[in-house]
Amino acid sequence: MSLRYIAQAALALAMMTLTAAGATAAERKTFDEKDFAAAQAQGKPILIDISATWCPTCQAQKPIIQKLSAEPQYENLTIFDVDFDTRKDVLRKFGAQVQSTLIVFKGDKETGRSVGATSESAIDGLMRKAL
């Protein structure tokens, strides 16, 4: 079995478990400039998740972010997914040079960023900076 398959299966299982439990999760969507600007204008906590399908670090981050985003303190968090391979315009906008980059905002202010973090505590600490 490939690492990608295992990560996808773990993510699917986590999502099914959360759905069955009736958990309220953060909103996750593909990056769109208008949606991002609206979330900033509303003062929302935001996580930019820059990843690539071929990146094992990115695939390790996904289930951790999914798990954490289901916690009550992150119910207002908006997660914007950015594809590293196809959204070079967005990478330039945020000054991101590599995949597995996570950037958090509180409204229109960047409050933290991380590259390559795969521990739950490190990602949770970063996400808390958006609250």
Give, for 5, the enclosing helix (H) or strand (E): helix 3-21
Q: In sequence order, which residues have a C-beta less than 8 Å from that of residue 23 and are 6 or more positions away?
A: 70
Give yes or no: 58 in active site. Answer: yes
Q: Given the residues 58, 91, 117, 123, select the one marked as catalytic.
A: 58
Backbone angles phi, psi at 25, to 5 degrees: -105, 165
Q: In sequence order, which residues have a C-beta less than 8 Å from that of residue 31 and are 6 or more positions away?
A: 48, 80, 81, 82, 87, 90
Q: Given the residues 55, 64, 91, 104, select the one marked as catalytic.
A: 55
Give yes or no: 69 in active site. Answer: no
- Separation CA 51–CA 7 (nearest Å): 14
The rounded Cα 94 to chain-centroid distance in angstroms is 14
State the catalytic residues. Answer: 55, 58
